[in-house]
Amino acid sequence: MTILQPGPLSTVQDLGREGCQSMGFSVSGAMDARALRIGNLLLGNPEGAAAIEMTMAGMTVEFTSDAVIALTGADMRPTLNGAPMPRCTAVYVHGGDTLAMGAAASGCRGYLCVAGGIDVPVVMGSRSTNLKCGLGGFEGRKLASGDWVPYAAALRNTAGRCYAPDEYPDTVTLRAVPGPQDDAFTEKGLADFFGETYTVTPSSDRMGARLEGPAVGTRGKPDIISDGIAAGSVQIPASGKPIVLMADRQTTGGYAKIATVLSCDLWRLAQARPGTKIRFERVTLAAAQKLRARAEKEYRRLAQGKGWSHL
């Protein structure tokens, strides 16, 4: 495909560059892993095949060869040759067709998945773009007008397969396990974090979601000896305002972490636009493991061809 208009931030992403954090490289990958996985499964791709992630607004592209595509994630009001195109549906496109998307009407990040996957070089085990390091993806950078992006041959034609799009409410509840440094916070600080409402700020990005709301009280200074950062770690800096660390998070950090958001809930935060209200719900580790297993079961059903609708 040829990029005619790239949107504000469009990058190639898969499920991330695992196993490289010990060398200082972020995992990167899709912010909304659920949207990426469902888009790929709609097309018969491996769940982690590379796709294009678009932020806040979509692209305009011209296909240079036939393909089957699916748009998942945010509703960017797509049109194909000027006619409305359904989301979360495998659609056959021809060489010369033009796909256009605008500003997201709901949600924050959209995904353009192509049967066969976006065919850029694998770097350190992943096709994901790491913008800070300038590696992976399409020449290590965001897409620009005039770029020609290749995709691999489709494994099979699944045109007509569809799935109900996710909804993105104005208030989102994120389930979280306390810790690993929850003992660094006062009882009131913990009660505020799990009881109050926070707001996603415009300074949020792929590295982390910065939240505005009641300051979380600590027993002393929030600094700790730097340790590893997991996806969904909630750091509390000196301001007391939570930061939920996301796909492009740093590999280590020196602020105490009050909780960790469940991996199966992070897609909700990835789709939260500035102004979205966030609440945290305390869950146990055992409950978190069961919830993750339930989410993974859904993907296995879809991979087996179960649970789809058809046009």
CA-to-CA distance for 149 and 243, rounded, in angstroms?
34
Closest CA relative to residue 63, chosen from 80, 51, 46, 45: 80
Per-residue model confidence (pLDDT) at position 24: 85
For residues 51 and 114, the answer to whether their CB atoms sit within 8 Å is yes
Task: Show the tokens assigned to 175.
Answer: 């389930």
The predicted pLDDT at position 132 comes to: 92
- Cα within 13 Å of Cα(241), Cβ side: 13
pLDDT score at 159? 95
pTM of the model: 0.96
Q: Give the pLDDT confidence score for residue 23 in this predicted structure.
A: 85
Structural tokens at position 283: 């869950």
State the pLDDT at residue 311.
82
Sign of CA dihedral 190, 192, 198, 202: negative
10 Å CB burial of residue 9 (0-12, 13-18, 19+) is: middle
How far apart, in whole angstroms, are the C-alpha atoms of residue 266 and residue 230? 12
Q: What distance in Å separates the CA atoms of residue 26 and residue 232, rounded to the nearest whole number?
A: 14
With a cut of 70, list the residues of the chain below it in pLDDT.
none
